[in-house]
Structure 1
Amino acid sequence: MKKIKYFIVIIIIVIIYFNNNYPFFTYGSLGWSVGYQFVKEDSLFNLSIKNGSIISSSKINTFNKNNESIFIADPFYIKHNDKIYLFIENQVKNDNARIDVLISKNGIDFEYGGLALDENFHISYPQVFKDEEGFYMIPETKNSNNVLLYYTNNFPYDWKIKDTLIKNVRYKDPTLVSLKNKKYLFTVDDELNLYIFKSKKIQGPWELCKNYREKKGNEARLAGRYFKYKDKIYLPFQNLSKGYGTGVSLYSVSLKDNEIKLKKEKHLYLKPEIELDFFNKGMHHLDVQKVFGGYFITYDGQRRDNRIHFNWKRTIKHNLIDLGLY
């Protein structure tokens, strides 16, 4: 009888522990929207989401004069010729997600620029950047089983595959980082194991690094572009403790004694914004760049549907991942 009691107590403790890390019951989602704002340099770490503007899928449908967009997410932007080009994942009805572009002359009012990139597989996370050779994009192309590099001679349109950076893999949200004259790609697999690759140039060859501490589970998946602030380089990581897209935490990344080091600097820099309907379930993406004498920041968030869902598989899976048992 005592053994049974002890067993029951242990089970209860495990359930409480698991639920505290990743609740069994969470709210559902009504989809994602994109937000943006300018902030002064000294306000970057005191961000107020309620001061920003929001673009929802309904606005995209108004631009398009149709109702095909279900949600928009993963905003990345680039400033070119005094305009801001905002690239977004656009999940449309009865099809894979694609990449659209919005264009602004002042960073306040955006016009719909149209379709930027579409494939016969799901594509998202449109990480766009420029170097001396032109405009590139490294989106998430997991369903192609490769990490692909895109290039265009007609920015912001006509993106073509330039090269395959990493073959025969199903990686999520590959994120480019520059450290001490080398390029690094941070990414995760479906089990949320963090992998870091390095190369001397964008087109590779890319080599898997071994000089970093293993990271997996919660806050292992990337949440946007790296950025520099004062004397540190920051990387955003996704927090999923209260469900997918709970928030974004900031980590500093450095290369010391030939070891890549990550240190959490700001827990839940982005988090559920209860007072904002479009972001009241959570947030999971960030792009920060210094422009126009301050910082232009774009992010995304999801809307709560107020229906509570029981998801025991998710709770058990992510706890086991964190414990190294999955």
Structure 2
Amino acid sequence: MPVQGIICAGRIDAPIHWFDEEPAFQFLADPFGWQQDDRLHVFAEHYDYRTRHGTIETLVFDRAMHLLDRRLCLREDWHLSYPQVFAADGAMWMLPEAHKSGGLTLYRDHGDLTDWRPECRIRLDGVPVDATILRLADRWWLFYSPATSKATKLSHLHVAWADELTGPWTCHRQNPVRTDYRSSRPGGTPAIINGRIMLPVQDCATTYGGAVRPLWIDRLDEGSFAAEMGDALALPTGAYHDGMHTLSACGDMTLIDVKRVDASVAGLALDLRRMLGEYRAG
């Protein structure tokens, strides 16, 4: 179902293809997609609770959603997540969230969506989380939340712009352009719907990634910003009822990330073993 249909309906009115669940204490999150040669390439964070280290994996599906391939796509010494992928200037690019590295790095693909190498560092007014890019009227726009504190990660929205993808980037003079736990942290790919900019944002008022709602941006230029939030999307029925984190457009498909919180004795034991140093990121 296209993202425009979901936003206009306020819910998902189409069958959902669920990925298989990951092994215990692991999950996939933050899916972004790219369709090429009749294949769907899904880029997602793979997270292991034992090491608390995220890497980026690629899952390749045919049109019938049969899994054809799955492999490690990008690994760094720091945690990676939120791998937005897009095409520009005759190349494919990835902009993964990596605030524990102390900044934001743009990666370029050098071979069939499997060989991602750092292209440049994007300099901003702080370390960003969930940086989300949009091309609009011959200019690049970047939406992000600053990693200054736990509060700013969840409740502040910053904007930057550039004429070239690799920069230099200029931060908006009104940053933070928005402060609201319900509608500031980006949560998916922007889209133009009925002539308005729609930025998916996370509702973190009660919990991180509690819901996704549209932020309708009506004014966006070098000196001003104006937006209003829409209603939170209804969660799909089923086992994942504790929140929605990501809404990513991919042609006639939309990728979502929903969650279920499980508390268990095994989980508490894992936390203890990790604190004792038994698990290390490999």
Q: Tell me the TM-score normalised to structure 2 length.
A: 0.81
1:101 and 2:64 aligned: no
Q: For the residues of structure 2 that align with 1:39 and 1:134, how far apart are their CA atoms?
A: 24
Give the letter for the 2:168 counterpart: P
Query: Contact conserved, 1:246 with 1:272, CA < 8 A, in 2?
Result: no
Give the counterpart of 2:243 among 282, 290, 297: 282
Query: Contact conserved, 1:240 with 1:246, CA < 8 A, in 2?
Result: yes
- Superposed, 1:133-144 pairs within 5 Å as 133-144=90-101
Cα offset for 1:267? 1.1
Q: How many percent of aligned residue pairs carry the same amino acid? A: 21
Give the match for residue 177 of structure 2: 214
Give the counterpart of 1:54 among 9, 18, 23: 18
1:84 and 2:40 aligned: yes
SS at match of 1:243: coil
Give the match for residue 228 of structure 2: 263
Q: For the residues of structure 2 that align with 1:43 and 1:217, how far apart are their CA atoms?
A: 23
Cα offset for 1:256? 5.8
1:223 and 2:180 aligned: no
Give the match for residue 16 of structure 1: none
Q: For the residues of structure 1 that align with 2:42 and 2:69, how far apart are their CA atoms?
A: 10
Q: Which residues of structure 1 form unaligned runs of 5+?
A: 1-37, 62-66, 308-326
Q: For the residues of structure 1 that align with 2:6 and 2:107, how far apart are their CA atoms?
A: 34
Cα offset for 1:82? 2.2
Q: For the residues of structure 2 that align with 1:241 and 1:259, how far apart are their CA atoms?
A: 26
Per the alignment, do residues 212 and 300 of structure 1 end up closer, same or farther by CA in structure 2, a change over 3 Å counting? same
Per the alignment, do residues 169 and 107 of structure 1 end up closer, same or farther by CA in structure 2, a change over 3 Å counting? farther
Give the letter for the 2:131 counterpart: P
Q: For the residues of structure 1 that align with 2:220 and 2:117, how far apart are their CA atoms?
A: 37
Structure index of larger Rg = 1
Q: For the residues of structure 1 that align with 2:84 and 2:162, how far apart are their CA atoms?
A: 18
Give the match for residue 71 of structure 2: 114
Give the counterpart of 2:110 among 143, 153, 160: 153
Q: Which residues of structure 2 form unaligned runs of 5+?
A: 265-282
Give the counterpart of 1:196 among 130, 146, 159: 159
Q: For the residues of structure 2 that align with 1:39 and 1:108, how far apart are their CA atoms?
A: 16
Cα offset for 1:86? 0.5
Query: Contact conserved, 2:219 with 2:227, CA < 8 A, in 1?
Result: no
Higher relative contact order (CA 8 A, sep 6+): 1
Q: For the residues of structure 1 that align with 2:261 and 2:174, how far apart are their CA atoms?
A: 40
Give the letter for the 1:249 counterpart: R
Cα offset for 1:152? 1.4
Q: For the residues of structure 2 that align with 1:73 and 1:169, how far apart are their CA atoms?
A: 24
Give the match for residue 175 of structure 1: 132
Give the letter for the 1:276 counterpart: G
Per the alignment, do residues 213 and 261 of structure 1 end up closer, same or farther by CA in structure 2, a change over 3 Å counting? farther
Query: Contact conserved, 1:146 with 1:164, CA < 8 A, in 2?
Result: yes
Q: CA RMSD in A?
A: 2.5
Q: Tell me the TM-score normalised to structure 1 length.
A: 0.71
Give the counterpart of 1:184 among 141, 149, 158: 141
Per the alignment, do residues 160 and 40 of structure 1 end up closer, same or farther by CA in structure 2, a change over 3 Å counting? closer
Cα offset for 1:214? 3.0
Cα offset for 1:168? 8.3
SS at match of 2:100: helix
Q: For the residues of structure 1 that align with 2:220 and 2:91, how far apart are their CA atoms?
A: 31
* Number of residue-to-residue matches in the alignment: 254
SS at match of 1:135: strand
Query: Contact conserved, 1:283 with 1:301, CA < 8 A, in 2?
Result: yes
